[in-house]
Amino acid sequence: MSVLIDESTRLCVAGITGREGTFHTLNNRNYGTNVVGGVTPGKGGQDVEGIPVFDSWADAVSQVQPNTAMIFVPPRFAADAILEAAAAGVELVVAITEGIPAHDELRVYNTLKRDGHTAGTAGSGTRLIGPNCPGILSPGKANVGIIPASFFKQGNVGVVSRSGTLTYQIGNEIARAGFGCSSIVGIGGDPVPGSSFVDVLELFEADDDTELVVLSGEIGGSAEEEAAEYIAENMSKPVVAYIAGFTAPAGKQMGHAGAIVSGSSGTAAAKAQALEAKGVRVGRTPTEAAAIAVEVLGGASVSA
Amino acid sequence: MDLLEYQGKQLFARHGLKVSQGLAVTTVEDALIAADEVGYPVVVKAQVLIGGRGKAGGVKLAANESEAREHAGNILGMDIKGHTVRTVWIEHASDIASEYYASVLLDRSAKQPLVMFSVEGGVDIEEVAERTPEKLIRHHVDALAGLSHDEGVQIARDGGADDDVVDGVADALVALYEVWLEEDATLAEINPLIVTPEREVKALDSKVSLDGNALYRHPENQSLSDKENEDPLERRAKEEGLQFVKLDGDIGILGNGAGLVMSTLDVVSHAGGAPANFLDAGGGSNAETIKQAVDLILANEAVKAVLVNIFAGITRCDEVALGLIAAFGEIKPSVPFVVRLDGTNDVEGRRLLGEAALPNVHSAKTMNEAAEMVVALAAGQSVGAVA
């Protein structure tokens, strides 16, 4: 198994006709993902390398029944594209778009919530992953987004991360040590992500193929602290963490819109402390986090 | 994007929040003209994006022209914690009966707007929150419905506002919420929100942060913020579309992806070094971006060595290598570089770099090794493995 995407994924892409959208859609298809369509208003009836393009999400849903949407449109159109895909009944929306205004993200999150799309249980409406995220990869099964699949192998480590490239770094170190991943989920670095660490941890806990989870966090907000609480109360599987931004100065935005420390909360030290207080081992470098994961897995496979 | 006090107040006024009439000026002569216009007594207020202006002597009351001349002269050009005062705000002094506090911000944890109100304004609100949390009212707003006047009244009552100004406070809260919502602010704060002896509710100060991602909706706000006090390198980076933050160390950092760059800063610090900057060249950065980034890093004279740490996904390592080669061709850096390339097209990237045989460029296999090498090089030690 894996989480969120697999062989049953039917992907439809908003922004498929854009340069980046086309490139990554075809990449995803080459990996083996079942790409059933694309949506670009005004370009319905066209096709991208044989993938049919529709004017609206309603059209796409009625004609090719996608269960997963990928959002690749510019920031100013992204909020409406997400809501339109959800309204059309697509179960999973993965928003890659970077630079969406925070107020739009707030509106999207609360509209999905109001309309009964909870991020919790499967089959209860639309789940949003991202925005400003690299997407999801279930090695050997499906790839939705921009994660370079060649650095990951199929296996039993679940990875959930706020950062893209940092995920590649950690995942690759795990792969070099001979281990693979069940799924890699990028939740994004923005202030109001559709899904949080807790939402994805819940999925990994329920996934038979995941034996251990690597959580990669960063400064800003309190999602890591909330994850620590959740892990202590609800997770039977081991979780290893890494937090980026120990040396980030307060009050400065470090690239990600969410990565800004204000006041005393949200620091990397506070997050590492919160996680360690709940028994989660935290690597001080990505290499150390991967090494801890490998150590734990090594022990697990010997005892198995 | 943080606004100066007077810029925030201009936004407040646009949404019907009461502020004192005032003018922003940059010379003593203009300060006196402004004072005449708003009428004595006036307050001369330094416009800088840093707290503690009052304690630093950046806020002064002037009863007449000679006092206004003296204060404006002292405050203009004053250094407040590294910020040079280039603008002062002159406003008519207000009589104060009470000092309250009000703010609207995005509560990331609750994923809702949060309105905060206290009758203990005029002081550091973090202290109020810590010592007497019951005196700081926190009210979550339904993001889709907005803040109603009735809710504002309830917040004012819960916070203990004087009965005769409950309506005025509610009006101020609704207007502040409107500023936050319609201007795409992430924070809109008033401290103090004053009640005058005439029982008028007025914003005496402002602290507003706007969402840079939403500026396309607000062309009129694009010229705001404290341009003069912006670091010149950070301003240049912004113009070139690079994510750059200047730091105090001597090791230049170039990476792709915010998380990986933050992590690189940590790993370099862990190895005993001090990063000179945060620079995220972004996903899909091409040769031109890399060249601009190298140029920007080396414009900081404190830099003694540079670490290029790339894990390429959308980015391609061969593009990064070509950018470095182009940068070396034009800039001819005098400091050593350590380059670690992993990910898409890494073999090709390393081959290109090897063939170019750039002077004083060292290749590292892992992030940790790269950090150790660059720390040694910055300290003037030699390392092996020239690319």
What CATH number is associated with residue A284?
Answer: 3.40.50.261
Of the candidates B258, B266, B253, the one whose C-alpha atom is nearest the C-alpha of residue A272 is B266
Check: CB of residue B134 under 8 Å from CB of residue B104.
no
Indicate if A254 and A113 belong to the same structural domain. no
Measured torsion, CA atoms of residues B47, B53, B58, B64, in degrees rounded to the nearest 10: 90
Indicate if A108 and A225 belong to the same structural domain. no
Within-domain flag for A170: yes
Regions of chain B where pLDDT drops below 70? 226, 228, 283-285, 384-387
Annotation says B101 is catalytic: yes
Residue ranges per domain, chain B? 21-92, 98-221, 232-378
Indicate if A201 and A62 belong to the same structural domain. no
Please identify, among A129, A162, A177, the residue that sits at the C-terminal boundary of a domain: A129
Beta strand B361-363 pairing with A10-14: unpaired
Residues near B386 by beta carbon (within 8 Å), at least 6 away in sequence:
B360, B361, B362, B363
Indicate if A101 and A161 belong to the same structural domain. no
pTM for the whole thing?
0.92
Annotation says B120 is catalytic: no
**Contact check, Cβ <8 Å, B108/A222:** yes
CATH code for the part of the protein at B232-378: 3.40.50.261
- Alpha-carbon gap, residue A55 to A63, rounded angstroms: 12
- Give the B window 28-87 contacts with A, CB below 8 Å: none
The CA-atom distances, in angstroms, between A1 and each of A8, A216, A218 are 11, 22, 28
- Alpha-carbon gap, residue A292 to A241, rounded angstroms: 9
What's the pLDDT score for residue B254?
A: 95
**Contact check, Cβ <8 Å, B144/A246:** no
Q: Chain A residues with CB inside 8 Å of B343's CB?
A: 148, 151, 168, 172
Measured torsion, CA atoms of residues A48, A54, A60, A64, in degrees rounded to the nearest 10: -40
Indicate if A170 and A120 belong to the same structural domain. no
* Overall domain count for chain A: 2
Indicate if A74 and A202 belong to the same structural domain. no
What's the pLDDT score for residue A303?
A: 33
What's the pLDDT score for residue A258?
A: 67
What CATH number is associated with residue A110?
Answer: 3.40.50.720
DSSP, res A212: E
pLDDT digits (tens, 9 = 90+) for A178-201: 899 999 999 998 989 999 999 999
Residue among A118, A187, A247, A261 with most chain B CBs within 10 A, to mutate: A247
Token pair listed for B222: 């694009």
Indicate if A34 and A161 belong to the same structural domain. no
Topology agreement, domain B21-92 and domain B232-378: no
Give me the total of CB pairs closer than 8 Å, taking one residue from chain A and one from chain B: 167
Longest CA–CA span in chain A (Å) reads 58
Beta strand B79-80 pairing with B83-84: antiparallel
Q: Is B275 exposed, middle or buried (0-12, 13-18, 19+ CB in 10 A)?
A: buried
What is the rounded end-to-end Cα distance, in angstroms, of chain A?
A: 19
What's the pLDDT score for residue B6?
A: 95
What's the pLDDT score for residue B64?
A: 97
A193 lies in which domain range? Answer: 148-297
What's the pLDDT score for residue A60?
A: 98
What's the pLDDT score for residue A120?
A: 47
The CA-atom distances, in angstroms, between B132 and each of B107, B125, B126, B129, B162 are 21, 10, 10, 6, 19
- Alpha-carbon gap, residue B252 to B143, rounded angstroms: 42
What's the pLDDT score for residue A164?
A: 85
Whether the upstream peptide bond of residue A131 has omega within 30° of 0, thus cis, is yes
Within-domain flag for A291: yes
Indicate if A178 and A235 belong to the same structural domain. yes
- Alpha-carbon gap, residue A96 to A153, rounded angstroms: 22
CATH code for the part of the protein at B21-92: 3.30.1490.20
What's the pLDDT score for residue A302?
A: 37
Token pair listed for A237: 């599987």
Q: Domain B98-221 has what CATH class?
A: alpha beta
What's the pLDDT score for residue B364?
A: 94
What's the pLDDT score for residue B49?
A: 87
Asked whether the predicted pLDDT for residue A141 surpasses 70, the reply is yes
Measured torsion, CA atoms of residues B247, B252, B258, B264, in degrees rounded to the nearest 10: -100
Measured torsion, CA atoms of residues B343, B344, B347, B352, in degrees rounded to the nearest 10: -110
Rounded to a whole number of angstroms, the distance from the CA of A247 to the nearest CA of chain B is: 6
Q: Is B299 exposed, middle or buried (0-12, 13-18, 19+ CB in 10 A)?
A: middle
Please identify, among A69, A98, A129, the residue that sits at the C-terminal boundary of a domain: A129
Does any CB of chain A come closer than 8 Å to the CB of residue B164?
Answer: no
What's the pLDDT score for residue B83?
A: 87
More confident residue, A171 or B30: B30
User: Which residue does chain A place closest to B248, by CA atoms?
Assistant: A249
A51 phi/psi in degrees, rounded to 5: -90, 120
Within-domain flag for A62: yes
Rounded to a whole number of angstroms, the distance from the CA of A303 to the nearest CA of chain B is: 31
Rounded to a whole number of angstroms, the distance from the CA of B200 to the nearest CA of chain A is: 31
Check: CB of residue A102 under 8 Å from CB of residue A191.
yes
Indicate if A198 and A289 belong to the same structural domain. yes
Rounded to a whole number of angstroms, the distance from the CA of B147 to the nearest CA of chain A is: 14
Within-domain flag for A136: no
Please identify, among A67, A94, A129, the residue that sits at the C-terminal boundary of a domain: A129
Q: Chain B residues with CB inside 8 Å of A221's CB?
A: 108-109
User: Which residue does chain A place closest to B371, by CA atoms?
Assistant: A285
Give the SS3 label for residue B137.
strand
What's the pLDDT score for residue A144?
A: 98
Give the SS3 label for residue B194.
strand
- Give the A window 249-278 contacts with B, CB below 8 Å: 249, 252-259, 263, 268
- Give the B window 255-284 contacts with A, CB below 8 Å: 255-263, 265-267, 269-270, 275, 278, 280, 283-284
Asked whether the predicted pLDDT for residue A251 surpasses 50, the reply is yes
Indicate if A73 and A190 belong to the same structural domain. no
More confident residue, A173 or A66: A66
Indicate if A110 and A232 belong to the same structural domain. no
**Contact check, Cβ <8 Å, B313/A249:** no
Indicate if A199 and A93 belong to the same structural domain. no
